[in-house]
């Protein structure tokens, strides 16, 4: 907080040095000389020597207000806050009306020590002075609101017991900006790699750690992504197939084969087999001559949230933007999030939870503890959000809090901290998130697409559809190397799965995510695809009928439209639509029912533009079971509609 929020008195020092000696609050020439030497030493960052000279000036003239102020400034730079407070209190005592801005600085220092009542008193004193610039008064009023909020927050703390992620992840170096796959098995983060603790600045690289069931395993560098340059703030999509990250440099080069537009740009890469493709700059729609960083990807991979800001000496401002992927695969012009989220202050460290609507971010513009606090808001429409809620104390403190990551279940959160008891510098920690700031829980579905005959894994397109709303929730591809996919899905919904690949019949299935146990267990699916050839059959698992009726239910529309598209793509293919039942009821009734159901499907396809000459239908009743009719599960499998490729109707 201090580095950004406290008004350094160097502005005063520079102004005073340009004036004649008689404008000082002291007339002692030796005191003035010591003060001016201290000012020069301060500018040269020789802080210990500057302290000695300010002490000399004060010993000569204890009422020398400027000397107390520059001494406080030096202590602030050294992080010696208690001594800075003592110097400012002396400046107030010897000359209350000189340089009223000192009350703002003193108030901020009190806030840093959680002395909110004392801080509020300083801000109120500042606001009484007419000569104080309006921007400073606005900041003082904001900090007054923060003091009021913080006082109540401290009286009503939230549960908070952070746990270090352990030696597999954390080292004596700094680890920060975590990201996690939806199954909770892979943790991606940034590490500032240094050769020794004495090295002041290191190189930012990505590391990945795997969960072994009990703890996080040894983190390994991501060789496909890391370069001699800096890579930071990674966001991995919930399915683990896409990664967006930040690369920074001054204008131009961002490392080998990377060219950028501004001080920091966003780059994107995709998983290829067990590795990653060459990262590409996301282009001038996303990146600007300013600063783009800290991305977050929605669960469906179609919305990108990120931070854009200005980084100029003495000035900083950042806000949250979002961009959406269009039907052609291009990222749209970024849209600034509404004023409900963005303020005149700084917003950063954005995270969109896999539930698709819960947004976490850091801000110093909403009421908080004084620095960057973490907030949560929920989307209620396009770029419409609920009023941000502060996560509370002691999750938030007078210092800056950011880099929050929330698990798919919403129960656990991760963050970075240099608190005592760690391995050194910034470490990654986890804690239980209070219930009132949790997102909607999501689970995950993992699957493998493969050739039904050879069992060879396949690269194929798949989509998951909410059966009730007919909304396509996820549209993506299985991994090109092993045919696997992994997606995040909200709980308490019914879903249809469709998978397709050129030269193959498409595959369909449906399932529920209604059980809270799905938080951690997820759901696993086998997705076999059969090559298009005469005699091959596929079950239309997402064609639904009410019991003992042959009217197509509305939920069948998605599957049938998919089937129409498939038949249009394979214009030379002829098919038989067949209906099947279990053995409940009479054989004749079941045959009639199954035939009417097959006929209903054929009529829908014809109405959708498929030539009737390509289609025939038949009801087989209970004659061709594929499972045991003595169990409910078996009977459910036997109640089905199928499509079989035939030579001619």
Across 99-103, 202-206, 429-433, least confident range: 202-206
323 HSE (CA, 13 A, CB side): 22
* pLDDT bracket for residue 1 (50, 70, 90): very low
Tell me how crowded residue 498 is: count the other CB atoms within 10 A of its CB.
Answer: 24
| Percent with pLDDT over 90 in the chain | 70
With H, G, I as helix, E, B as strand and everything else as coil, classify residue 592.
Answer: helix
CA–CA separation, 69 vs 88, rounded Å?
Answer: 6
- Answer whether 102's CB lies under 8 Å from 9's CB: yes
Looking at the chain, the domain(s) classified CATH 1.25.40.10 span 2-155
Class of domain 442-646: alpha beta
Q: What is the mean pLDDT of the chain?
A: 89
* pLDDT at res. 254: 56
* pLDDT bracket for residue 7 (50, 70, 90): very low
Residues 6+ apart with CB under 8 A from 388: 340, 341, 361, 363, 366, 375, 376, 377
Looking at the chain, the domain(s) classified CATH 3.30.1330.60 span 442-646
Phi, psi torsion values for 444, nearest 5 degrees: -140, 155
- 136-142: list long-range contacts, CB under 8 Å, 24+ apart: 136/7, 136/101, 136/104, 139/5, 139/104, 140/104, 140/107, 142/345, 142/365
Residues 6+ apart with CB under 8 A from 267: 244, 245, 246, 247, 254, 258, 279, 280, 281, 282
DSSP output for 494-558: EEEEEEE-TTB--EEEEEEE--TTHHHH-EEEEEEE-B--TT-EEE-TT--B-TT--SBPGGGHH
Highest averaged pLDDT of the listed ranges 8-12, 185-189, 358-362, 442-446:
358-362
218 pLDDT higher than 90 = yes
* pLDDT at res. 256: 57
Q: What is the mean pLDDT of residues 466-493?
A: 89
pLDDT digits (tens, 9 = 90+) for 116-159: 999 999 999 999 999 999 999 999 999 999 999 999 999 999 99
**Fold category of 2-155 in CATH:** 1.25.40
What percentage of the chain's residues is helix, strand, coil (to nearest 5)? 25, 30, 40
Looking at the chain, the domain(s) classified CATH 2.120.10.30 span 169-359+402-437
Q: What is the mean pLDDT of residues 274-290?
A: 90
* pLDDT at res. 551: 94
Closest Cα partner for 229 from 197, 266, 202?
202
pLDDT digits (tens, 9 = 90+) for 45-93: 999 999 999 999 999 999 999 999 999 999 999 989 999 999 999 999 9
> Is 388 buried (19+), middle (13-18) or exposed (0-12) by CB count in 10 A?
buried
18 pLDDT higher than 50 = no
* pLDDT at res. 10: 40
**Fold category of 169-359+402-437 in CATH:** Neuraminidase (2.120.10)
Q: What is the pTM of this model?
A: 0.80
* pLDDT bracket for residue 315 (50, 70, 90): low
* pLDDT bracket for residue 12 (50, 70, 90): very low
* pLDDT at res. 516: 55
With H, G, I as helix, E, B as strand and everything else as coil, classify residue 363.
Answer: strand
């Amino acid at each position: 907080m201090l580095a950004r929020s406290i008004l350094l008195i160097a502005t005063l020092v520079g102004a005073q040095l340009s004036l004649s000696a008689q404008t000082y609050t002291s007339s002692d020439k030796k005191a003035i000389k010591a003060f001016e030497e201290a000012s020069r030493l301060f500018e040269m960052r020789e802080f210990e020597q500057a302290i000695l000279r300010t002490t000399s000036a004060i010993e000569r003239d204890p009422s020398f207000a400027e000397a107390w102020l520059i001494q406080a400034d030096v202590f602030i730079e050294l992080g010696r806050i208690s001594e800075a407070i003592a110097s400012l209190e002396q400046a107030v005592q010897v000359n209350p009306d000189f340089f009223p801005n000192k009350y703002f600085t003193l108030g901020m220092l009190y806030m840093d020590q959680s002395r909110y009542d004392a801080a509020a008193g300083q801000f109120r004193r500042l606001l009484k002075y007419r000569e104080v610039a309006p921007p400073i008064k606005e900041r003082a009023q904001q900090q007054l609101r923060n003091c009021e909020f913080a006082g109540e927050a401290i009286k009503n703390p939230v549960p908070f017991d952070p746990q270090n992620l352990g030696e597999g992840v954390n080292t004596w170096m700094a680890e920060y900006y975590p990201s996690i796959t939806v199954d909770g098995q892979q943790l991606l983060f940034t590490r500032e790699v240094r050769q020794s603790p004495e090295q002041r600045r290191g190189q930012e690289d990505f590391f990945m750690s795997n969960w072994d069931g009990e703890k996080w395993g040894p983190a390994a560098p991501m060789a496909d992504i890391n370069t001699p340059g800096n890579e930071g703030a990674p966001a991995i999509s919930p399915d683990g197939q896409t990664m967006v990250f930040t690369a920074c440099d001054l204008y131009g080069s961002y490392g080998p084969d990377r060219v950028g537009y501004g001080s920091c740009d966003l780059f994107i890469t995709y998983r290829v087999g067990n590795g990653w493709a060459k990262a590409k700059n996301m282009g001038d729609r996303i990146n600007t001559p300013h600063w783009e960083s800290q991305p977050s990807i929605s669960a469906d991979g179609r919305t990108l949230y990120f931070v854009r800001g200005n980084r100029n000496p003495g000035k900083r401002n950042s806000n949250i933007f979002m961009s959406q992927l269009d039907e052609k695969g291009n990222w749209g012009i970024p849209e600034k999030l509404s004023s409900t989220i963005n303020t005149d202050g700084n917003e950063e460290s954005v995270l969109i939870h896999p539930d698709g609507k819960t947004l976490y971010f850091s801000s110093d513009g909403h009421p908080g503890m004084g620095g960057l606090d973490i907030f949560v808001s929920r989307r209620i429409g396009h770029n419409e959000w609920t009023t941000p809620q502060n996560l509370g104390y002691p999750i938030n403190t007078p210092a800056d809090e950011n880099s929050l990551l929330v698990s798919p279940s919403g129960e656990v959160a991760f963050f970075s901290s240099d608190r005592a008891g760690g391995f050194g510098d910034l470490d990654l920690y986890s804690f239980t998130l209070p219930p009132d700031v949790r997102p909607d829980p999501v689970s995950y579905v993992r699957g493998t697409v493969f050739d039904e005959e050879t069992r060879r894994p396949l690269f194929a397109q798949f989509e998951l559809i909410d059966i009730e709303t007919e909304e396509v929730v996820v549209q993506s591809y299985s991994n090109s190397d092993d045919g696997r996919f992994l997606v995040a899905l909200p709980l308490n919904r019914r879903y249809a799965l469709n998978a397709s690949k050129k030269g193959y019949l498409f595959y369909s299935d449906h399932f529920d995510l209604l059980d809270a146990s799905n938080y951690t267990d997820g759901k696993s699916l086998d997705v076999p695809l059969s090559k298009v050839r005469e005699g091959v059959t596929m079950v239309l698992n997402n064609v639904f009928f009410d019991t003992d009726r042959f009217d197509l239910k509305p939920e069948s529309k998605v599957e049938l439209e998919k089937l129409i598209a498939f038949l249009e793509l394979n214009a030379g293919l002829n098919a038989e639509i067949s209906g099947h039942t279990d053995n409940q009821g009479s054989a004749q009734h079941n045959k009639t029912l199954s035939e009417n159901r097959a006929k209903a499907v054929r009529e829908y396809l014809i109405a959708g533009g498929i030539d009737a000459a390509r289609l025939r239908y038949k009801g087989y009743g209970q004659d061709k079971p594929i499972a045991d009719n003595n169990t409910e599960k078996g009977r459910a499998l036997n109640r089905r509609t199928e499509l079989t490729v035939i030579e001619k109707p």
